[in-house]
Chains A and B, each alone.
Chain A
């Protein structure tokens, strides 16, 4: 991986809201093919960082590049590299779920038979094919969660960002989602995951960064970070300092 362009490079990122500094000069890289965990307590700056990466937050200072493309100067190319699965369901209520995928691809400038086939493939893969013509409000919580992931993948991004993808789902679905994410990562997609379930990060992530009050307080491989203990112990120790 050395010398290769990183999937994500964040350099001295600062995001302020008035006098409040949500992200305070963090820098880190995520290499292509990595499964990276971004952890931190509530309000630490995880979602703000994600929003800055995908263009939902304006950067105060610093820079972010996706596969070498600056998210401000070269925003069109940068945005094509990344898919976001947000924590909240924000689907278009006027579309059926197949069209949710097809229209999302359209916004990325992709259309045609290939997109329709990919939408059908994703619906099949995420066990949503039988609901293809339904609006998202008719789906169960687990189905909505899977649809969030399918939508993030419709334009075949090289990097997928998952903001608490298993929040509020039952154990069975969580394990199923873990399996889907592992498969995705094995197939070459770089994944950035935020989660409050530390065992999830421990189970899935190659490397973990921990943010607290907008600062990066740890950045290590999962194995090194945990050592002989558990991620929960390390996390609590770091965030209580």
Chain B
């Protein structure tokens, strides 16, 4: 599958260099935003909220949701802007003329996205540990969910980075789909606390399964069966990866 492993590793490294050269756009905003959410919603307003599932405080309930929120947001926005900027500046031609296959390219972006996602998640996890005294109890599930979500949103980022004709187009998915679905997908509240009809609607929201399976790695309980959540996330991740790969292999908006 990977023949040019040095080329693939070089692309991962390049994406990491990019991430840390724009650290104020990529790494610090999720950390600062999470701190604000924790203090204002978690420790402030949240102290008034009782009866959270699994006997955790609202702030402790909030942390895994906030991690997913940031992982989804940053993974999508980074891979989409990296691909789009590469097309816009033509620097992606450095990859296209090299002996790198489509799968080596896509894996380069996706693996970099996963590494970035785990890094951001660990930073926020650290905040949770310090300020809210909560930590994952199932690290395997913690990493697995982040990686699956990162594969899904890195791939979506590549797809929209290829489709976009201007930077504004990249924001369409974030503004009209990702952010609303994440916010109603269980970041701030458990589905069990929602009215029955809204509970049923949320079953059609893929973000619900991502947040729920990730929260399971903290609390050991979820609103949906864990196997179902992981299946939904896995199927979506594989589908998005396959579409991104197909577009890149066909040279969609990359090769004339």
Q: Which of A's residues lie within 8 Å of B, judged by CB?
A: 17, 48, 51, 54-58, 75-77, 79-80, 82, 84, 86, 88, 90-95, 99, 103-104, 106-111
Contact = CB atoms under 8 A, between A and B. Distances in A.
A202 B22 CA distance: 47
B94 A90 contact: yes
A140 B113 CA distance: 34
Contact of B9 (A92, A93, A106): A106
B10 A103 contact: yes
B98 interface: yes
Contacts of A104: 94, 98
Contacts, number: 83
Interface string B232-248: 00000000000000000
B91 A93 contact: yes
A177 B4 CA distance: 33
A107 B93 contact: no
Contacts of A82: 97
A76 B10 contact: no
Interface residues of B, number: 29
A85 B238 CA distance: 37
Contacts of A99: 17
Contacts of A54: 97
A107 B98 contact: yes
Interface in B73-93: 89-91, 93
Would you list the 3 A-B pairs with minimal beta carbon distance, nearest first?
A: A106-B10, A107-B98, A90-B90
A144 to B, nearest CB: 13
B18 interface: yes
Given A48-B256, A108-B7, 18 more contacts: A51-B256, A56-B96, A57-B256, A77-B99, A82-B97, A84-B97, A90-B93, A92-B14, A92-B91, A94-B18, A94-B21, A95-B14, A99-B17, A107-B94, A108-B99, A109-B4, A109-B5, A111-B10
